[in-house]
Each structure stands twice: as C-alpha cells, then as structure tokens.
Amino acid sequence: MRQILPRACLGVLFSTTMLSPAFAQEKEVPPAVSLDTITVYATRSPRSSFEVPAMTSKVNPDAPGTAMAGDTGDLLKFTPGVEVAGGPRRNGQTVSIRGFDDESIITLIDGRRQNFEAAHDGRFFIDPSLLKSVDIVKGSSSAIYGGGAVGGVIAFETKDAADMLAPGETSGFYTSMGYRTASKEYSPVLSAYGRSDAWDIIGIATLRNSGNIKQGDGNELISENNLISGSFKIGYSIDDFNTVKFGYQGLHNDGTEPNNGGGATTVENPIVDKTINDNQYSFYYEFEDPGNSWLNPKFHLYYNDTTVREEDLTGTNAGRVQTRDLNTIGFTADNQTTFTASETQLHTFSYGVEVYHDDQTGTTTNGGTRPGVPNADATNYGFYLQDEVALETSMGRFLIIPAARFDSYRSSDHDGNSQNENQISPKFSVSYLPNDNLMFFGSLAQAFRAPNLTEIYASGQHFPGGGPIPDNFFVPNPDLRPETVTTFEVGAGINFNGVFARKDQMLVKGSWFISEGDNFITEDVDVFGGTTEFVNIPNARLSGFEVDGEYQLHPITAKLGLSYVEAENRDTGEYLSNNVPLTLVSELSYKANEIDSIFGVRGRFAAANDRVGSADVSTAGYSVYDIYYRWNPSDPGLESLTLDLGVSNILDKAYTTTFASLLDEGRSYNVRVSYKW
C-alpha cells in the first residue's frame, strides 16, 4: 500500500501539473477542452485521463472562447470525436459520439439519466451558464452504466458553491451579461452562493432571449426563444462522514420555430409555438470515511418531468395543440471497497444497483393520442461489478479493469403490447505504463441499447401524402430487438517534458476501434407503401480512429484533435448514416501576462461526407474559424472582472455539419462581461 499509492498519485500530479514554475504562479485558466484531467466517469474512480484505458475529454464551460457559448453546439463543437446533430436551433440539438446517435449514448446531468426522446426535439435541455464541466467518455460503457452506453457517456455537472468561492471565502455573488449578434441573443446570469463548515448553498438563474438565426448564406432560420432556467443546490454535512444534498434544476422556454427544429419550414413542417418545461429534482446521500476502506456508499434518488407543447401556427392543422410528456424516476446505490492484496497490488471494487422508470404520454386536440408518441411506460433495473487492479511490476505499472453488468427491462403500451428482455454487458480493459511518459491500452467490450418507447409502440400518422405518395403511418414493432455491439479498441499515449525546449510539455493520446453490431435499430420509411417502422439491421460495422494532442510552451498552447468513423451494413455493403468524415479541430492560444490577456483562434475542418447510404444526402467539406480574447485584470478592485470577446465563423462560411440538414450559424460577434463580489 505504501509503495503503490504514492506512485499512482505521482502519475496524476505529473500529468496534470507539468508547467514551468513561472507559469504555475500565474492566474490559472483551465483550457476549454482538456486532454489530461482527473476523470471519474471513465472508471467511477478519480484517475488521470491519460492513464485510463479509454479516450475521454473534459470541457470547461468557463474557459476563454467557450464561456460565450449559447447552446450545446457552441459548447462542444471543438471536442474531438463529438458531433452535435440537429442544426443550429438549440431545441433540436442532440449529441453524437463516434457516429453513434443520442439514443446510443447515456446523457447524465448531475447523475440523472436524460431519457426524454423525440425525433424532432433535443434529448436534454440545459443552459451552458449553469455548468462547471462536461465529461465525455468515448466508446462502450454499458458494463458500468447499462443500456444506451454503446457510443459512450456524456455527463454534465452543474456548479456548486465550492466552485465559485476562493479559499477562505464564505459567500459571494456573481453576475454576467452576454450578447451574440447572429441570433440577437442577450443572456444575463445571476448567482448567489455560500458555505460554512456544514452548509453549501448555491442558486443560479439565467435568461436567454434570442431571435432568428443568421446563416452563412445570409438567410435566416425562424427561431425565436425566450428561455429562463436555473439551478438550486443545498448540501448539509451531518458530521465528518455523512452528507446529504438536495438539488433542483428547471427550464422554461417559449419559442417559435418549425415543428421539426432540425428541418426547413415546409407545409409538412409548419411553424409552431413551442413551450418546453423541464423540472428535475435530486436527493443525494454519501458516507465517506477516509479510514474505512470498505464502505463509501452513495445513494441518489431523482425525478425528471419534461413536457413539450406545440401549437401549430401555420399549415393545414393551424390551431392544433400536441404535447409529449416524459416522467423519469430513478434510484442508484453505489459503493467502493479498496483491498490491498500485496505491497504492489491494489484492488478497487465498484459495485451498485440502478432502477429507473419512464412514463410517456402524448396528446393532440385532433383525436386524443398524439401520432408517433405512444402512451407507454418502461422499467429498467441493473447491477454492476467492477474491479480496478493497480499493479506495480519491475516492467512498469498496469491498470487492469474487468467489469460486467446485468440489466433487465420491460415495457408496455396502452394497447396491450409489451416487451421483456435481459442483457449482460461484459468489458475487459487494461492500460500499461512502462514509465510516466508512455502508455498503451486496449479494451474489449459488449454493450447494448434497448429500443425506446417510440421505436417499439409508435402508431398514427407520420406525415401526410400528396400526389402519388399516400399518407404515411407508423407501424408498431413490439418484436424489435435490442442493439448489441461488440467493440475492440487499442491505443497509446505519450507525455513528455522538454521535447523542443527546456520547459515545454507535449501530450498525445490516440486509439483505433472497431464496433460489430447485431440488430442495429433503424427507421424504415416506405414512402410509396405508406408505412414507417423501426426495424433491425442484422449486421453492421463501425470503425475509426481518434487522436488528441496538446503542446505547451509558455505563453503558447496548441491543441489538435483528429477523428474519423466509417459505418456500413455488412450484409448489403451499403454505408450507414453513422459515417463521420475526417474531421480536425484545433486551437492556438497566447497568454499575454503583461496585459492580463489571452488571445486565441480555433478551427474546425471536415472533409466531404460522401460515404452515405441510398436514403442519405452527402454534405460538402468545410473549414470554420473562431477567434476569442479574454481580459482578466489583476489590478486591485478589478481582479473579479472578466471580459470575453469573440467572433465565431469569422469568414461567414455557409456550411452544414455531418448530422444536420440546415446550414449552420453564420458570422457572430459575441461578448460576455462577468463580475464576482
């Protein structure tokens, strides 16, 4: 124990603090996307992301450039391996990891599953100003997170009082004001927070009022939003070991946009008055005694209520009101046990149970149940066990992680259809560090995704016909099988000081993966037959690679990320819509200490997406550039002031991202001023 823990801790400190002494004394500003940080979500234990046998990213919403983000697309667009689908309208945005869509990714907000699903709307609704971090685990994660983690996990964490207060401070107040010209959006934020020996309290409220979105070709997308959101957390330490916390997060958005926010306005896609209400509640309990290596239990009970109401303002159904409501109640219980097998072998056992229940209701004023939104419910429960083996040898350090999870789910609709399935998701991964500068890793995992309620039970009209095309109707498919994906991944990383100069640092990590899928779920639209049914593709394959790199030589920091995914139906040889063309993201920043400033430029470059199936449309390649500037004065009385300026899409490029059909936002001049006291 005495030998293994110091070296493990040294590895974490080495990989996260390799800055020159002069640099360490300055006011530190974490980068927008960090390649090497401490990650919890990859293994459920705090570990250096460089050392874990997986590819991960961590986004800092308050970093220069990113701090002016207006939505999820702005927040994540420079994260390697991640695509934000649905176009520039915030209400339709979802996240894709390695070509897997949002249904194949587990989305968490403060540990709460985000199970809201709508073909035309986003999966989750949260404002970037509430967040302290976004952790992204890329690749199969069902062994510890259960169904839906085929492509990975994206975990949003909201701010606590401790994140806002400096050492020695007990209370504070924060305010900011932002503006974006492309959408004429202004965004004030107010926050108050405090802490004592026993209490930790924070409240944040933010408002966003925006208009139509200017595109790169000079046209505008109809998209007006009046959004108010906030979060409130109160934590109480009962004693030195026991802590309870209550959390609330809410959002209300009144908007005017097409029914399908990811599509153009047409007769089939009319303008609607869209109202979104999202309310989420959490209760946490944690026991943590540093002297007890057997017990570290965490319990989490939560409830989510999401309702989207749409009233048609145009089209043949003007005046019609349709709603979609999903309630989720969930409970998790987790524990960790640390066991020292020898002086060179440490085991960290993570295990727990999870239960959650979804209840969906769809209504319409034209006939009761909303077409395509079945009144149905589903219950899921799972149990997982993982062992992290930290092993010291004469050849170097090993981190060996076997894990497995058993899941059972059952669902039914109001018409009497039902489904009941079980699944086991195993995973084995290992990383090897011959020294502190070099690592190799590999993993073999099986993950699954259960079909959602809409995919199984959807009925009613999908879209009206015209001319030779008949009206199209959903066909329920209670026999739809879960997706099962086996993923093999290998990778390596280097972490060096003094590469080209005495005080520089370089860190690079990359991997290659191949995912073999059975029973991929896809939507089969028979235009001339008049039916839409969700069916299984027996054999599918996704393969690709990802490389992240960062280089620091004070005052310059450079980052590069390269990713590519190819997806095909192995039976027919046809490409699937999961393809992601070769995409490069980059950032170059300069820290001018003498004027308390940071200057930066970011670029996103994508090749043409021409490997598409017969039903898909190819997109042209593009290159987009952003610039930003931050002033954070050190003068007494002004040290709590931060000014952010930026221009996104500075060349006003007309381009379409991979999983979108609309041109993205054009040039936008952005500003944010914030102050703490």
How many whole angstroms separate alpha carbon 92 and alpha carbon 109? 18
**How many whole angstroms separate alpha carbon 304 and alpha carbon 277?**
11
The mean pLDDT of the chain is 91
Residue with tokens 């990714």: 105
Q: Which two tokens stand for residue 416?
A: 């009497």
- Distance, in Å, from the CA atom of 401 to the CA atom of 349, rounded to the nearest integer, reads 10
CB atoms inside a 10 Å sphere around CB 637: 7
Distance set, CA 422 to CA 454, 519, 624 (Å): 20, 15, 45
**Does 5 score more than 70 pLDDT?**
no
Question: Kind of pairing, strands 531-553 and 472-474?
Answer: parallel
Q: Phi and psi of 212, rounded to 5°? A: -60, 150
| Contacting residues for 618 by C-beta, under 8 A, at least 6 apart | 608, 609, 610, 612
Arithmetic mean of pLDDT, 512-534:
91
Query: HEC states along 288-324?
Result: CCCCCCCCCCEEEEEEEEEEEEEEECCCCCCCCEEEE
CA dihedral 104, 92, 356, 416 (to 10 degrees): -90
Compute the chain's Rg from CA coordinates: 25
Give the HSE-up count for residue 158: Cα atoms under 13 Å, Cβ half-sphere: 28
CB atoms within 10 A of CB 22: 11
CB neighbour class for 571 (10 Å; exposed up to 12, middle 13-18, buried from 19): exposed
Contact between 490 and 517 (Cβ < 8 Å): no
Residue 7 has pLDDT above 80, yes or no: no
d(CA 442, CA 54): 8
Residue whose C-alpha is closest to residue 423's, from 5, 34, 136, 142: 142
Helix (H, G, I), strand (E, B) or coil at 356: strand
Backbone φ and ψ for 456, nearest 5 degrees, come out as -85, -45
| Beta-bridge mates of residue 265 | none
To 5 degrees, how large is the angle CA 311–CA 210–CA 76?
A: 100
1-5, 90-94, 319-323, 600-604, range with the lowest pLDDT? 1-5
3-state secondary structure of 660: coil
Other C-beta atoms closer than 10 Å to the C-beta of 151 total 32
The confidence band for 134, taking pLDDT boundaries of 50, 70 and 90, is very high
Which of 309, 314, 222 lies closest to 268, judged by CA? 314
Instruction: Return d(Cα 313, Cα 310) in angstroms, integer.
Output: 9
pLDDT in tens, 149-206: 999 999 999 999 999 998 889 999 999 999 999 999 999 999 999 999 899 999 999 9
pLDDT (tens digit, 9 = 90+) per residue, 449-505?
999 998 999 888 888 887 788 988 999 999 999 999 999 999 999 999 888 888 889
The per-residue pLDDT for range 62-111, each reduced to its tens digit, is 999 999 999 999 999 999 999 999 899 999 899 999 999 888 999 999 99
Least confidently predicted of 150-154, 256-260, 359-363:
256-260
Q: What is the pLDDT of residues 655-669, one digit of tens each?
A: 999 888 899 999 999
**CATH fold of the domain at 4-313+322-676:** Maltoporin; Chain A (2.40.170)
Rounded to an integer, the average pLDDT of 384-400 is: 97
Q: How much is the pLDDT for 500? A: 83
Domain ranges of the chain: 4-313+322-676
Residue with tokens 């590069």: 560
Residue the block writes with tokens 């550039």: 625
Tokens of 287: 């026991």
Amino acid at 133: S
Q: DSSP of 571-598, one letter per residue? A: TT-PBPTT-EEEEEEEEEEEEEGGGTEE
* SS3 labels along 609-650: ECCCCCCCCCECCEEEEEEEEEECCCCCCCCCEEEEEEEECC
Are the C-beta atoms of residues 500 and 525 closer than 8 Å to each other? no
